[in-house]
């Protein structure tokens, strides 16, 4: 099982590394496309095993208030460039009316875009303030949730659940009578467990709202960037058209020449963008193939960390531990809450190893139960236990006499299983004999110290 677990961990590391490479390529592509005034659509943020997933990915470019696919934009500009190239360049006199009309249309378009940009900017400022307010609210809920979880943990470990009432101080337990409000108007205080569930539901709700606002903010930022780029192009065209209106009439139309050049340059830029996108998709496709093979390898590894036999052993060990902890007087919390970790094979509670939350005497009782449970497990299941257990001064931390007597009774059954348990103790001899007289055991009494200085 150790080899299987090692293979699983290495496979998980390779899957994580694959996902990191995918994210790095996607982020690099996203930045490049964003600088060109576009965005990536239908490309997942993490690798998928679906071979058709990458085929759906494409680039969208801002086209006024809409988003148009890159292939459609390339086709449009190619048609425009071909049309302009097939027509001879006219003189300025022949284009004067068209230039004036086009200048008027561009000016109106610029005014419309500026109005829209101001509205979007104002809305963006309001939404950013709302998002900051949501983040502060979520931080407050996280703080409240942490405090309530701490209270719940203290109540669980102390074994005492305080009842919260509106007319009693939760700290000093004194009755509250000197209040400005009528006590009859107060309702019952919500229990801590209900508080936790309520806070969690509120936290989920505000996180969903924030996620929706962040998505809308990304959309607004893309729109503002697209408007800014369109305004930049329009201002350049307006300057050119105004200069052409005052140019000599016999000159070739600079506006037509620049429009042709701009269309051809746009086609080259879009084709270059498509080439970069295709190259990134090929790199992602190789990562996708590797990811698919990793998933196939993972499917071949057993899903459970433990075999069926080991799971049976772990279940029996947990039952023995709970039974003996109860028998020895373990009381920090209910022994039924004890379990054995599948990773460390040590006692735990709710997935956490048991530490300082137990009393010193209960820590000793838990060690007794754990060690004896391992010994008894070796009798019921095949393990590598030697069948020998040695306790040196087991009654540490002033464990109760009843607990110690139950320990000796439980350990005395080892002889019937061809196992051996050895106790070394400095307990009062008379009290010890009262216990051992009821048991089948062997006694070796040493007068004075066992280890003495040689004469």
* pLDDT of 381: 92
pTM equals 0.54
The torsion defined by the Cα of 398, 400, 404 and 409, in degrees rounded to 10, comes to 180
Confirm whether 72 is domain-assigned: yes
Confirm whether 454 is domain-assigned: no
3-state secondary structure of 92: helix
Angle ∠(404,410,414) on CA atoms, nearest 5: 130
Taking alpha carbons only, the member of 388, 383, 357, 372 closest to residue 326 is 372
| CATH number where 427 lies | 3.40.50.300
Confirm whether 442 is domain-assigned: no
Q: Considering Cα of 302, then 308, then 312, then 315, what sign does the dihedral take? A: positive
Domain match, 427 and 312 both: yes
d(CA 131, CA 248) in angstroms, rounded, equals 56
The helix (H) or strand (E) run that includes residue 339 is: strand 338-340
Half-sphere exposure of 240 (CA within 13 A, CB side): 16
Placement of tokens 């022994």 in the chain: 335
Domain match, 175 and 192 both: yes
Confirm whether 416 is domain-assigned: yes
**Count of the separate structural domains present in the chain:** 3
Q: Pick out the chain residues at pLDDT < 50.
A: none
Q: What are the tens digits of pLDDT across the range 192-251?
A: 888 888 999 999 999 999 999 998 998 888 888 888 888 888 898 888 888 877 778 777
Looking at residue 162, the DSSP 8-state letter turns out to be P
Within 36-91, where are the H helices? 70-85
Placement of tokens 């022949």 in the chain: 94
* pLDDT of 194: 85
* pLDDT of 27: 93
* pLDDT of 50: 86
Range of the domain at 11: 1-89+253-303
Confirm whether 140 is domain-assigned: yes
* pLDDT of 182: 57
* Residue 128 near residue 147, CB atoms below 8 Å: no
Kindly list the distances between the CA atom of residue 135 and the CA atoms of 18, 149, 204, 218, 384, in Å, as whole numbers in the listed order.
32, 21, 12, 17, 55
Q: What are the tens digits of pLDDT across the range 3-60?
A: 777 888 889 899 999 999 999 999 999 989 888 888 889 899 899 888 888 989 999 9
Domain match, 413 and 378 both: yes
Angle ∠(347,353,359) on CA atoms, nearest 5: 85
Which residues have a Cβ under 8 Å from the Cβ of 384 and sit 6 or more positions away? none
* pLDDT of 16: 93
Domain match, 346 and 401 both: yes
Please provide the DSSP assignment of 106-168 as one string.
HHHHHHHHHHHHHHHHHHHHHHHHHHHHHHHHHHHHHHHHHHHHHHHHHHHHHT--PPP-TTB
Residue 4 corresponds to which tokens in the numbers above?
């299987």
């Amino acid at each position: 099982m150790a080899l299987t677990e090692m293979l699983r961990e290495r496979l998980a590391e390779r899957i994580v590394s694959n996902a990191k490479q995918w994210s790095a390529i996607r982020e690099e592509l996203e930045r490049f496309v964003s600088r060109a005034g576009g965005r990536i659509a239908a490309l997942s943020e993490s690798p998928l095993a679906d071979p058709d997933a990458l085929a759906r990915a494409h680039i969208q470019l801002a086209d006024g208030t809409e988003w148009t696919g890159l292939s459609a934009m390339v086709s449009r500009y190619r048609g425009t460039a071909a049309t302009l190239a097939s027509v001879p360049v006219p003189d300025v006199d022949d284009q004067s009316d068209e230039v004036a009309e086009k200048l008027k249309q561009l000016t109106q378009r610029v005014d419309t875009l500026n109005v829209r940009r101001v509205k979007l900017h104002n809305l963006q400022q309001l939404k950013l303030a709302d998002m900051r307010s949501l983040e502060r609210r979520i931080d407050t809920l996280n703080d409240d949730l942490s405090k309530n979880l701490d209270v719940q943990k203290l109540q669980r470990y102390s074994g005492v659940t305080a009842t919260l009432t509106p007319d009693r101080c939760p700290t000093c337990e004194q009755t509250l009578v000197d209040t400005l409000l009528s006590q009859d108007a107060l309702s019952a205080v919500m229990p801590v467990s209900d508080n936790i569930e309520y806070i969690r539901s509120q936290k989920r709700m505000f996180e969903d709202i924030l996620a929706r606002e962040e998505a809308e903010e990304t959309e607004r930022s893309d729109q503002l960037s697209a408007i800014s780029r369109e305004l930049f192009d329009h201002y350049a065209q307006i300057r050119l058209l105004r200069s052409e209106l005052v140019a000599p009439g016999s000159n070739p139309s600079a506006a037509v020449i620049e429009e042709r050049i701009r269309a051809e340059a746009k086609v080259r830029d879009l084709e270059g963008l498509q080439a970069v996108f295709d190259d990134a998709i090929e790199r992602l496709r190789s990562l996708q193939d590797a990811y698919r093979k990793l998933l196939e390898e993972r499917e071949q590894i057993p899903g459970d960390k433990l075999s069926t036999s080991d799971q049976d052993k772990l279940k029996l060990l947990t039952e023995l531990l709970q039974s003996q902890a109860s028998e020895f007087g373990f009381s920090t919390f209910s022994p039924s809450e004890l379990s054995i970790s599948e990773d460390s094979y040590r006692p735990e509670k709710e997935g956490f190893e048991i530490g300082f939350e137990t009393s010193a005497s209960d820590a000793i009782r838990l060690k007794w139960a754990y060690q004896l449970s391992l010994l008894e497990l070796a009798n019921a299941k095949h393990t590598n236990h030697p069948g020998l257990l040695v306790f040196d001064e087991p009654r540490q931390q002033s464990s109760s006499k009843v607990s110690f007597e139950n320990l000796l009774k439980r350990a005395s059954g080892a002889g019937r299983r061809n196992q051996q348990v050895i106790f070394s103790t400095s307990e009062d001899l008379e009290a010890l004999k009262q216990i051992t007289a009821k048991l089948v055991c062997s006694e070796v009494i040493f007068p004075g110290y066992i280890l003495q200085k040689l004469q």
